[in-house]
Structure 1
Amino acid sequence: MDTQRDLYPHEILQEIISKTESKANASLKMLSILSFLGGAYVGFGYLAYLKVVSGIPAQWSGLAALLGAAVFPICLICILIGGGELATGNMMIMALGKYTRRVRFSKLLRNWLLVSVGNLAGALFVAYFLGHYVGLSEGAAINKTIAIAQSKVNMDFGRSFVSAIACNWLVCMGIWFYFGAKQTSGRILAMWFPVMIFVLIGFQHFVANMVMIPAGIFAGAPITWGQFFTNMLPVFLGNVVGGTSFVAASYLYAYKHLLKDDYSI
């Protein structure tokens, strides 16, 4: 394989599968640190989004949403290029390891659990210390912060679940594109648009909600922590389906005949 050119879809599949075992066997210390960073980076993306949308007049709401969505992908750039663990991306990656018998189910659950908890810690850190204490999600942005948080928790289970499926379908495609590109500039451009589009549409993302809803609670929104954790369930499940089925399983069964012989399925 020419390592200088971008990869074809079946080669992207092969590349991701080759990384599943190392991710499954990562130490507790590594997962804890990198997942905390991943959650914090999502928080940075959200604060950037708020800064943009809260500074544009309401009559230009469409432009505000577009520009806000355009800055949010900094979070995935930091995670994939700088280093970080993201629960939603790992839903796709670890599923491929399990489907190809590279990763035991217990290892998959361990990764998902540890990374989810670490993401939550990083997200809450940013939401409280930067969003609330420093005031980046309050002040001029407080109305938008509260409105976003309420829109997340007010969506019923079924709609949250379906929205979350579409969300992680796009997020995992961004990660898929990242593995397909070989230059840093190409990787940034490739992952940018799927993430931007999920934010622009307003889909439900497990880790983003860990920032958005608590930021609203800290800002005084009439939302309880019980409502926050209730929202986490359908969004987690929907993100799992989006990553494991619409990306991992779909591409695996489309291209499995093109994989190398040492990948038994």
Structure 2
Amino acid sequence: MESTENLTPPSFNTESSPFLTLQKEEGPERLLREKLDYILSQDITAIRDVADVNLLNRSLFELQILAKHLYPHHETIRAIIDRQNLFIRERPAANQPSITNAELMIDFAKEIAETIGYELLYHDDSIRSNDIRSNIRNPGLEFRDNSENPLVKETPSPTGTEAPSSNSSDSLLPREIAEKMEKVGIQKVNLNTFSAFILAILAGAFIALGGIYFTFATGQIIVTRPFTQIIGGLVFSTGLILVVVTGAELFTGNHLAIMSLASRKITATKLLKNWVIIFGGNFIGSVGTAWILYMSNAWTNNDYQFGIRALMIASHKVNLGFVEAFFLGILCNVLVCLAIWLAASGKKVSDKILGIIFPLSAFVAMGFEHSIANMYFLIFPLLIKDDPSLLLAIKTAGITVNTSNIDYMGVLHNIIPVTLGNIVGGCVFVGLVYWLAFLRNNRKEN
């Protein structure tokens, strides 16, 4: 990595700079948001040379000018910017790798964002419509109430008047959803490994809880009836609702980050690394929940109806052919990603729940295959299939369940094609389709 030679602030005339002229023409507040969005979305691994660092350096100083221009009487902002510039001037930059300087500038931008009341979010659930900043449709940034940030002594409105929101409805427009998902993808792959892994374990546990609820609901009616699977699908939705509302990391949902890759805002290496971490965490969460259920003996209630139903589900899954499981995986994750897409359009928790329920219950009712859910549906039966009391209950009920393929090879025989199908369904038929529809021209313009 090359070193930077000059990180001293460029000289700007705040009265006659063409940059400030552009501010007046286009709106300084929008430019401030765009500068913050640009700097905070940078991928450190994509910075290759001094030119990239200098471009980031230029953006930081333009951001500083905008902040001073918008908040001329905000003493905290001026003090922070002066301290940042003093640190950069005194820093022996020639001996430092450029990636270090890039990280420093991104940290400075975050400090400014937090001070003036902007916050980088995973989800933008509460853009306040009564604030002038509500007309900035930026899924990654939200204006916070001053009471949430003690550093902000005063945050005067730059214009002194309120502007109406460009979209005053309770949901985002389709293009806005696409832009939001692109930014969320950047945030997800840049999440630190430990946090991502913990959130992935939670997601695996939540999906397993949804699977347990499904098994219990459908296990009450061993004989197939028309609405049994539909009811099971509705209750299984609990798992994805918990994932979305609590901010957990689900492997199949993260396939929408392919939009960020298509826009060249993340690297393929970082995306694949994220998928591996999340997949591993989901596995641990699912298996751990299955083990806890096994130890609880809750599956023995009602004459082992829960255990019988669990074996019936697993028997069906392990006997699917490779091609069949692959295409069922495609169909499944199309609906899962559409559920996440609809949830992203809502600003209220109730909107998100409503957006999730119908696509998710549809995939369950129609028997499509979900790789993370199958981690629970296949591992739990491995723990109980040889239980003598359960086998006696099956015989007493007069039910035939083929358990010969419920083993570790049977699990792999299902998980591998279903996982591949999930990737194709989420990436190709949802992520890339919507990227082509709404975002492809953005990359050309950039």
Which TM class, normalised by the smaller chain length? Answer: over 0.9
- Partner in structure 2 of residue 113 of structure 1: 276
- Partner in structure 1 of residue 238 of structure 2: 74
Question: Is the Cα contact below 8 Å between 1:50 and 1:137 reproduced in 2?
Answer: no
- Partner in structure 2 of residue 87 of structure 1: 251
Amino acid at match of 1:82: T
Q: C-alpha separation between the residues in 2 aligned to 1:78 and 1:263?
A: 38
Residue 360 of structure 2 is aligned to residue 204 of structure 1: no
- Partner in structure 2 of residue 226 of structure 1: 409
Q: C-alpha separation between the residues in 2 aligned to 1:102 and 1:4?
A: 29
Q: C-alpha separation between the residues in 2 aligned to 1:256 and 1:236?
A: 27
Amino acid at match of 1:204: E
- Partner in structure 2 of residue 127 of structure 1: 290
Shift of 1:112: 0.4
Q: Which of 420, 424, 429 does residue 246 from structure 1 map onto? A: 429
Q: Quickly say closer, same or farther: Cα 1:158–1:64, change in 2 above 3 A.
A: same
Count of paired positions = 260
Residue 194 of structure 2 is aligned to residue 29 of structure 1: yes
Q: Which has the larger radius of gyration?
A: 2
Shift of 1:258: 6.9
Residue 206 of structure 2 is aligned to residue 41 of structure 1: yes
Q: C-alpha separation between the residues in 2 aligned to 1:256 and 1:140?
A: 50
- Partner in structure 1 of residue 111 of structure 2: none
Q: Quickly say closer, same or farther: Cα 1:263–1:150, change in 2 above 3 A.
A: farther
Amino acid at match of 2:305: A
Range with greater deviation from structure 2 (113-122 or 96-105): 96-105
Q: C-alpha separation between the residues in 1 aligned to 2:213 and 2:282?
A: 18
Shift of 1:153: 1.1
Range with greater deviation from structure 2 (237-246 or 140-149): 140-149
Amino acid at match of 1:79: V
Shift of 1:257: 5.8
TM-score, normalised to structure 2, is: 0.56
- Partner in structure 2 of residue 156 of structure 1: 321
Q: Residue deviations 1:185-239, cap 9 Å, x none? A: 1111011111111111110101000010111211214311122123211111100
Amino acid at match of 1:126: T
Q: Secondary structure at the match of 2:269?
A: helix
Q: Which of 62, 67, 87 does residue 226 from structure 2 map onto? A: 62
Q: C-alpha separation between the residues in 2 aligned to 1:176 and 1:7?
A: 11
- Partner in structure 1 of residue 398 of structure 2: none
Question: Is the Cα contact below 8 Å between 1:47 and 1:137 reproduced in 2?
Answer: no
Structure having greater relative contact order (Cα 8 Å, sep ≥ 6): 1
- Partner in structure 1 of residue 343 of structure 2: 178
- Partner in structure 1 of residue 50 of structure 2: none
Moved over 3 A (4+): 1-4, 261-264
Shift of 1:32: 1.2
Greater helix proportion: 1
5+ residue gaps in structure 2? Answer: 1-136, 138-164, 386-402
Q: C-alpha separation between the residues in 1 aligned to 2:182 and 2:320?
A: 35
Question: Is the Cα contact below 8 Å between 1:206 and 1:239 reproduced in 2?
Answer: yes
Amino acid at match of 2:232: G
Question: Is the Cα contact below 8 Å between 2:179 and 2:439 reproduced in 1?
Answer: no
Q: Quickly say closer, same or farther: Cα 1:262–1:191, change in 2 above 3 A.
A: farther
Q: C-alpha separation between the residues in 2 aligned to 1:182 and 1:125?
A: 33
- Partner in structure 1 of residue 355 of structure 2: 190
Q: Secondary structure at the match of 1:204?
A: coil
Q: Secondary structure at the match of 1:103?
A: coil
Question: RMSD across aligned C-alpha pairs, in angstroms?
Answer: 1.7
Question: Is the Cα contact below 8 Å between 2:222 and 2:309 reproduced in 1?
Answer: no
5+ residue gaps in structure 1? Answer: none
Question: Is the Cα contact below 8 Å between 1:4 and 1:182 reproduced in 2?
Answer: no
